[in-house]
Amino acid sequence: MMNSSAKPKNRRFLHSQGLFLMLIIIVLSAVIALINPRFLSMQNITNLFKQISVTGICAIAVAIILIAGGFDLSIGSLVSLVACVIATLINQGVPELAAIAAGILFGILCGAANGAIIAHSNCAPVIITLGTMGIFKGGALLVARGNIINFKMPAPLLSTTSFLGIPTIIHIFLVIVVLAFLFLYYTVMGRRLYSLGSNAEASFLAGVNIKRMKILTYTIGGFIVSFAAIALLMRLGSASAVMGDAYTLNAVAAAVIGGISISGGKGSIGGCFLGILLLGIISNAMNLLGVTAYLQEIILGVIVVAAAVVSQLGNTKKN
């Protein structure tokens, strides 16, 4: 039953939301290229994917949580906290690989804590994660002591590296996209997430342990966000308590634009990827055209509101 509910969404992808987004991306790219030919240069395309990698990884985490009927406002703060933990451990002489593994484990535990509180308290996820956002932000400030943490020890794995001429953070982003796609469509748990987000009561009657699924959902989110922190460390070469602040809004925006329903149970990783790409193209174009950062924030907010309204109207019509 759950198998048939997930796979048709995958088959219909190119006939609905995905096709619409691809059309917008093609037309928008053509217009921008006519205005500024540098947009289609290989250097700018590489920069574009570097810019969207961290946001994209966070958006994949957001997408999985939204599909399961949850919400998470703490993602940006968790990015900062995990990055500060990794950088501090390296500066204290912990081997780089061990520090990265510890950071990933810490992100998993933080995600699990979110899930456990939400599952056992039955409180709204937005309220719980608003609280944990403050906890994670305060933890990052404590670890960093309010300062920027620069690497005092060599950190070759977190340096700006490339593989086959492509920056490593792009590889990390694309691998996570592929793994998330396979997880949602070709595993029992992935299909259960759709069922949970669509109708939690029906899932319970079908024998699904709702509390366990919620905990696992946020645990997976914490795991994915840890890689966003690693990618951001690779990009910036330092850590701070505010480095992840902007990523929560951007990730939610990308996911919603990509067709992930804020009501749960609807959307695809393919659509989310296109939403990430579209948002990145808009941001990249505004940078090339010299739009100020303040105006960019306003435009992003308008896009989020518009995408959320369209998504809700679509759900209302189906109901």
Mean pLDDT for 229-238 is: 91
pLDDT digits (tens, 9 = 90+) for 152-204: 877 777 876 777 778 899 999 999 999 999 999 999 998 899 988 888 888 87
Nearest to 266 by CA among 318, 216, 215: 318
**To the nearest whole percent, how much of the chain has pLDDT over 70?**
90
Secondary structure (3-state) at 239: strand
Going from the C-alpha of 194 to that of each of 6, 147, 198, the distances in angstroms are 7, 42, 6
Measured between its terminal Cα atoms, the distance across the chain in Å is 20
**To the nearest whole percent, how much of the chain has pLDDT over 90?**
48
Cα–Cα distance between 83 and 101 in angstroms, integer? 12
* Distance of alpha carbon 284 from the chain centroid: 18
pTM for this prediction: 0.88
Centre a 10 Å sphere on the Cβ of residue 150 and count the other Cβ atoms it contains. 11
Mean pLDDT for 34-49 is: 86
- Tokens read off for 122: 């039955």
Centre a 10 Å sphere on the Cβ of residue 214 and count the other Cβ atoms it contains. 24
In this structure, which topology does domain 2-11+46-318 adopt according to CATH? Answer: ABC transporter involved in vitamin B12 uptake, BtuC (1.10.3470)
So where are the chain's domains? Answer: 2-11+46-318
pLDDT at 14: 45
Centre a 10 Å sphere on the Cβ of residue 51 and count the other Cβ atoms it contains. 17
276 vs 166 pLDDT, higher one: 276
Nearest to 62 by CA among 316, 211, 258, 208: 258
pLDDT at 16: 59
- Residue 2 above 70 pLDDT? no
Cα–Cα distance between 77 and 281 in angstroms, integer? 25
Cα–Cα distance between 46 and 27 in angstroms, integer? 20
Mean pLDDT for 311-315 is: 57
Assign 7 a pLDDT band (cuts: 50, 70, 90): very low
Mean pLDDT for 260-271 is: 86
pLDDT at 261: 84
pLDDT digits (tens, 9 = 90+) for 60-116: 999 999 999 999 999 999 999 999 999 999 999 999 999 999 999 999 999 999 999
pLDDT at 267: 86
What's the length of the chain?
319
Inter-residue contact 264 to 69 (CB < 8 Å) = yes
